[in-house]
Structure 1
């Protein structure tokens, strides 16, 4: 999973992440704690979270 430049730092992804695997300070990033559940993708209003290639 990765967060692209569309991220506006709203924090919706953080609020719904069951593993608290997202950090939005400066550049938003997804940590190694991510379990690939994709819940964050569903709640991101900017659709800034994408699956890694």
Structure 2
């Protein structure tokens, strides 16, 4: 998987709002649906606490 939600995620929901594929839900913390995620990294760009890492080696 190219997107990793780190333990410091507080579930603010910014990633959910900005994900163009609607691949993220929050249940206390963000959860990425690997089948929907395109690894675009938009979620990480809008995370206010940098709790999302994108693996660019894919």
TM-score by length of 1: 0.86
Show structure 1 runs of 5+ residues with no match.
none
Secondary structure at the aligned position of 1:23 is classed as: strand
1:13-50 CA distance string (max 9 Å, x none): 00000001011114421112100110001100010001
Over aligned residue pairs, what C-alpha RMSD do you find? 1.6
Moved over 4 A (4+): none
For these two proteins, the number of residue pairs brought into alignment is 53
TM-score by length of 2: 0.80
